[in-house]
Amino acid sequence: MTTPEQFESWLAEPEGVRLEFKSATRNFDFETLLDYCVALANEGGGKVILGVSDRRPRDVVGTAAFAEPGRTEAGLYERLHHRVPVEEYHHHAKRVLIIHVPSRLPGTAWQYDGRYLRRAGDDLVPIPENELRAMFAESGPDYSAEPCSATLRDLAPEALADFRKRWARKAKNPRIEGWTDEELLRNAELLIEGRLNVAALILFGTREALGRHLAQAEIVFEYRSSEASGPAQERVEFREGFFSIHDRLWQQVNLRNDRQSYQDGLFRYDIPTFDETAVREALLNAVAHRDYRLGGSVFVRQFPRRLEIVSPGGFPPGITPENILDQQNPRNRRLAEVLGKCGLIERSGQGMNLMVETAVRQSKPLPDFTGSAAHEVRLTLSGTVQDSAFIRFLERIGEERLGTFSTHDFLALDALRREQPLSETLHARLPRLVEAGAVEAVRRGRGVRYILSRGLHSALGAKGTYTHKRGLDHETNKALLEKHLHDNAAEGAPLAELCQVLPALSRSSVRHLLNELRAEKRIALHGTRRWARWFAHPAKDALKPLSLAQEPNDSVPKNVR
């Protein structure tokens, strides 16, 4: 958060490399903001400050632009695939927006809509080609782009045909299918001045060629039925170009991929322990980002309920488990570009996002990098479904609406489900989730508390827990019980559900409060023993027929029998 002292010091500074001031009293074009974020990031990071005149002495005029900073931050992330915090700051009662743009990582450059920008005076201009090449070379040469001694005879024709077909389909250009192998490789920048590069060998090399030129470019699969040490029950070594083995790798995992079932009304659904999208993305990441200068192989270890993928080399420069969703820095740029051309990597650098979103949607633990070190990245995908009711809740939101959610939207829902504290980034997503009907805002005095919506707790079979979480600002326990019955007037509630409303009280204490409300004619009881349900008063207008298995009883009204 910006302090008054920091803000005053910015006002005194000249507008330069790190600062960009805009009056924007009424509004500011979002596309222009995207361009400024790209330019500032490419120049080392800085701040766009809206609501301040750009000429000194600066005047804080205030701004009405971007009324929902959380939504603006989400929009920036969705377009740029980088987290750009947006802060609402008040200076003498005038609203100012501060967009905190981080610096690009070494060896990378930010772009929007294919344009790499920097500032030139008051204008934004494309970065010259020579400067862009120098930026990409900062983290050292791209090993996958270096020439190798392999020839066209060392590449598998079937793998090249698969790549050609995928590229033509992705580019919607049927002419690609007519290219010769040499034209295909040249246009993909895998054949430069008559020489193949390492990326071509990794993607299309035959077993013999890899064994001769790049033996470490292999993936070793192991299946282990337990944690016991010793030989694996099955071990398969894949030493061929990735286009020859990626389907076979998935099929190997899928051989022991059991299904976990959950019930939704009359229907039963199955969820695979290992989701195909998540597994394929994890394998792509291991191939595209491992360090091929090291001699080790990629290991895929499958257990009954988890999958471990270990790849040589630590995280690329600037990437950590904490920022991996917000920052991208491909170690093998040429390799990643080719995979992107044919659609195997649909969104550059977004494989981790897909894994996280899949885990949340299937109510599985998030991908875990525990055990990673400077010499290797260790990724664990857990296959255990934790909460089938949460899956039903997401299905009730609807696929079309879920398709608009960002990775951080899913993470915010997951954190609320597990009742964990939310980071500033996730907290900024909550207003949008309220609009989508997935989250509810509960006002407590001057503050606001967020909980998952009533629909989730209905799916959980815990409507009483929902009423307890929502609360009534410390009103009496009797009023809390009565509110829950009013909220569920049509179907009423059994004693067990009402005990969820007041979990700190014993069953007998809750029953005592209910009897007091009944004596005051504020609620009513219908049925006995396990069929007994409490209703808000008056009950007759709200009743629905109970189960046909109910035994007739003199205390049950005629319209319920």
CATH of 462-542, one of 1.10.10.10, 1.20.1050.140, 3.40.50.80, 1.10.10.60: 1.10.10.10
Element (H or E) spanning 32, and its range? helix 30-42
Q: Which of 175-179, 359-363, 408-412, 427-431 has the lowest mean pLDDT?
A: 427-431
The tens digit of pLDDT for each residue in 20-51 reads 999 999 999 999 999 999 999 999 999 999 99
Q: Return the residue matching tokens 């939704």.
A: 264
φ, ψ of residue 476 in degrees (nearest 5): -65, 155
pTM of this prediction exceeds 0.85:
no
> How much is the pLDDT for 548?
30
Q: 141-386, which class in CATH?
A: alpha beta
DSSP 342-400: TTSSSSTT-HHHHHHHHHHHTT-PPPB-TT-BTTEEEEEEE-----HHHHHHHHHH-HH
- Which residues have C-beta within 8 Å of that of residue 289, sequence separation ≥ 6? 311, 313, 316, 330, 331, 332, 336, 377
> How much is the pLDDT for 550?
35
> How much is the pLDDT for 445?
47
- CATH 1.10.10.10 residue ranges of the chain are 462-542
* Residues 397, 433: Cα–Cα separation, whole Å: 11
For the chain, what is the mean pLDDT?
Answer: 85
Count, residues in the chain = 561
pLDDT higher than 60, residue 441: yes
* Residues 9, 22: Cα–Cα separation, whole Å: 17
3-state helix, strand, coil in the chain (%, to 5): 40, 20, 40
- Banded model confidence at residue 551, pLDDT cuts 50, 70, 90: very low
Q: pLDDT exceeding 90 applies to what percent of the chain? A: 49
Nearest alpha carbon to residue 134 among 158, 116, 150, 114: 116
CATH of 4-136, one of 3.90.1150.10, 3.20.10.10, 3.30.950.30, 3.40.50.2030: 3.30.950.30
CATH of domain 389-458: 1.10.10
Q: What is the largest CA-CA distance in the chain?
A: 95
The tens digit of pLDDT for each residue in 451-462 reads 777 655 555 555
Q: pLDDT exceeding 70 applies to what percent of the chain? A: 88
pLDDT higher than 80, residue 444: no
- Banded model confidence at residue 250, pLDDT cuts 50, 70, 90: very high
- Banded model confidence at residue 358, pLDDT cuts 50, 70, 90: very high
Count of CB atoms situated within 10 Å of the CB of 259 = 9
- Banded model confidence at residue 148, pLDDT cuts 50, 70, 90: very high
> How much is the pLDDT for 487?
86
